[in-house]
A and B are shown apart, each in its own frame.
Chain A
Amino acid sequence: IAGITQAPTSQILAAGRRMTLRCTQDMRHNAMYWYRQDLGLGLRLIHYSNTAGTTGKGEVPDGYSVSRANTDDFPLTLASAVPSQTSVYFCASSDSASGRRGEQFFGPGTRLTVL
């Protein structure tokens, strides 16, 4: 693995179902993020984690939960999916302890469709 990986690449989900989007990074970055991007719009921050064991709410956290049990993994869970959560989801990480803090590295995205 090099950088950030996300799984699945895409998913079609029935409304009301539970779904976990996976994100793994191998750069030992302390901070990780989840964004969503709706068609034609910029990215919006859902949740973030400054370091393992801590999480925080972003701009659009409702309907989503995250956990950060270790440095590498930052899963995003939709407890009961709704059609308005149809979007492309990007995971990112950054190393806030180095001189390159502020530079976020993004994964390839997960395209989620909720019907």
Chain B
Amino acid sequence: DAKTTQPPSMDCAEGRAANLPCNHSTISGNEYVYWYRQIHSQGPQYIIHGLKNNETNEMASLIITEDRKSSTLILPHATLRDTAVYYCIVSLIQGAQKLVFGQGTRLTINP
């Protein structure tokens, strides 16, 4: 699976959009981009995933560049409860999804 690079930490003001970048320059054509988050001490929570088109759900939007070498997770109106570690993961969709978690980005939402 391709490796991802994320900034170790970011801050965002409450109510503003949080934009979390991820580089995955070695991604292969059939690998998807996944985003998970982990709120302190809890199990990770799935947010969104995509292949090449931009995706949106009730939690976030995922913007993938045309060359697929990077992506951005957007939380449109961040709240204090969005403070968490966010993981960008690249993986094939297969029977058992063997996710490789890096160290992620620690996002702090400030009041």
Query: Residue on A with the closest CB to B44?
Result: A106
Q: Which of B43, B91, B94, B97 contacts A106 (CB 8 A)?
A: B43
* CB-based contact A109/B97 at 8 Å: no
Q: Which residues of A contact B96 (CB under 8 A)?
A: 31, 33, 48-50, 56, 94, 96
**When chains A and B are docked, how far (Å) is the Cα of A21 from the Cα of B96?**
20
Q: Tell me, rounded to whole Å, the shortest Cβ–Cβ distance linking A71 to chain B.
A: 14
Main secondary structure of the interface of B (DSSP, over half): loop
- Number of chain A residues close to chain B: CB under 8 A: 31
Interface positions of B (Cβ within 8 A of A): 32, 34, 36, 41-46, 49, 87, 91, 93-104
Interface positions of A (Cβ within 8 A of B): 4, 30-31, 33, 35, 40-45, 48-51, 56, 58-59, 90, 92, 94, 96, 101-109
Q: Which residues of A contact B94 (CB under 8 A)?
A: 96
Query: Residue on B with the closest CB to A57?
Result: B98
Q: Which of B43, B87, B93, B98 contacts A101 (CB 8 A)?
A: B93
Q: Tell me, rounded to whole Å, the shortest Cβ–Cβ distance linking A34 to chain B.
A: 12
Q: Which residues of B contact A50 (CB under 8 A)?
A: 95-96
**When chains A and B are docked, how far (Å) is the Cα of A56 from the Cα of B93?**
16
Q: Tell me, rounded to whole Å, the shortest Cβ–Cβ distance linking A112 to chain B.
A: 14
Q: Which residues of A contact B34 (CB under 8 A)?
A: 102
Q: Tell me, rounded to whole Å, the shortest Cβ–Cβ distance linking B84 to chain A.
A: 13
Query: Residue on B with the closest CB to A33?
Result: B96
Query: Residue on B with the closest CB to A43?
Result: B101
Check A102/B95 contact, CB under 8 A, given A43-B44, A44-B101.
Answer: no
Q: Which of B46, B87, B95, B98 contacts A42 (CB 8 A)?
A: B87
**When chains A and B are docked, how far (Å) is the Cα of A2 from the Cα of B93?**
25
* CB-based contact B103/A101 at 8 Å: no
